Amino acid sequence: MAFIQSVFWSRLDRLAIGKANLRSSLRAHRPGVRNQSPTAVNRDVASPDRRLLNCLFAGAILAGAALMAGAALMAGPAMMAGAALKSRPVGSIAPRTQGPAQSHSAFPVDIVAGPAPQPVMADGRARLLYELRVTNFSVGPIELLGLDVLGANGTAPLASYRGEPLEKLLFTVGPADGANKPRIIGGGRTAVIFIDLSLSSGDNTPAELGHRLTLSIQRKNGAILENTVNGPVVPVVRQPIPVLRPPVSGQAWIAFNALSNEDHRRALMSVDGRARIAQRFAIDWMCLGPDGRLFHGDPKSNASFYCYGVNVLAVADGRISDLKDGLPENAGLNEQSARQVTLDNIAGNYLVLDLGHGRFALYAHLQPGSFQVKPGAAVKSGQILARLGNSGNSDAPHLHFHLIDGNSPLGAEGTPYELETFTQIGVLGGPDAVDNGQVWRPNPQDKPVIHRPEFPVDNAVLVFP
User: Is position 395 an interface residue for Zn ion (rule: CB under 5 A)?
Assistant: no
Provide the minimum distance between the beta carbon of 393 and Zn ion in the complex, in angstroms, as a whole number.
9
Which range touches Zn ion (CB under 5 A), out of 208-216, 275-283, 288-296, 311-319? 275-283
- Dist. CA 126–CA 121, nearest whole Å: 4
How many Cα atoms are found within 13 Å in the side-chain-facing hemisphere of 45? Answer: 22
Name the minimum Å distance from CB 254 to Zn ion.
Answer: 13
Does residue 105 contact residue 230 with C-beta atoms inside 8 Å?
Answer: yes
**Cα separation, 304 vs 299, whole angstroms:** 6
Helix H segments across 88-178? 163-167
Q: Whole-angstrom Cα distance, residue 151 to residue 8?
A: 38
> Smaller CB distance to Zn ion: residue 11 or 211?
11
Q: Is the peptide bond before 71 cis (omega within 30 degrees of 0)?
A: no
Report the residue from 12, 56, 191, 248 that binds Zn ion according to the rule CB under 5 A.
Answer: 12
Task: Give me the least distance between CB of 183 and Zn ion, in Å please.
Answer: 29
Output Rg (C-alpha) for the chain, integer angstroms.
22
Residues 197-216 that bind Zn ion (CB under 5 A): none
Do residues 174 and 189 touch, judged by C-beta distance below 8 A? yes
Q: Does 412 bind Zn ion (CB under 5 A)?
A: no
Beta carbon of residue 402, minimum distance to Zn ion (angstroms, whole number): 8
Among 13, 322, 405, 435, binds Zn ion (CB under 5 A): 13
Q: State how far the Cα of 356 lies from the Cα of 351, in Å rounded to an integer.
A: 15
| Region of 11-19, 180-188, 384-392, 434-442 interacting with Zn ion (CB under 5 A) | 11-19
CA 14 to chain centre: 10
Residue closer to Zn ion, measured from CB, 13 or 454: 13
Smallest separation, CB 398 to Zn ion (Å): 7
CB of 296 to Zn ion, least distance (A): 23
Whichever of 87 and 279 has its CB closer to Zn ion, that residue is 279
Q: Please give the helix or strand (H or E) that residue 451 lies within, else none.
A: strand 449-451
Part in contact with Zn ion (CB under 5 A); list of ranges 162-170, 184-192, 206-214, 274-282: 274-282
Residue nearest to Zn ion (CB): 12
Strand spans (E) along 94-141: 109-114, 120-122, 125-136
Q: Please state the closest distance from residue 123 (CB atom) to Zn ion, in A.
A: 21
Contact status: 11 vs Zn ion (CB under 5 A): yes
Q: Which residues contact 171 (CB under 8 A, 6 or more apart)?
A: 17, 18, 191, 192, 194, 266
Name which of 56 and 126 has its Cβ closer to Zn ion: 56
3-state helix, strand, coil in the chain (%, to 5): 20, 35, 50
CB of 386 to Zn ion, least distance (A): 17
Least distance (Å) from Zn ion to the CB of residue 21? Answer: 19
Compare residues 159 and 282 and give the one whose CB is closer to Zn ion: 282
CA 317 to CA 308: how far, in whole Å? 25
Region near Zn ion per CB under 5 A, out of 130-138, 277-285, 298-306, 326-334: 277-285
| 284 vs 344 by CB, closer to Zn ion | 284
Contact call for residue 400 and Zn ion (CB under 5 A): yes
Region 278-297 residues binding Zn ion, contact defined as CB under 5 A: 282, 284
Stretch that binds Zn ion, among 226-234, 295-303, 396-404, 416-424 (CB under 5 A): 396-404
- Please, what is the minimum distance in Å from the beta carbon of residue 385 to Zn ion? 18
Number of residues that bind Zn ion (CB under 5 A): 6
Under a CB-based contact definition with an 8 Å cutoff, are residues 173 and 73 in contact?
yes
> Alpha carbon of 225 to those of 215, 252, 386: distances in Å?
8, 55, 59
The residues binding Zn ion (CB under 5 A) are: 11-13, 282, 284, 400
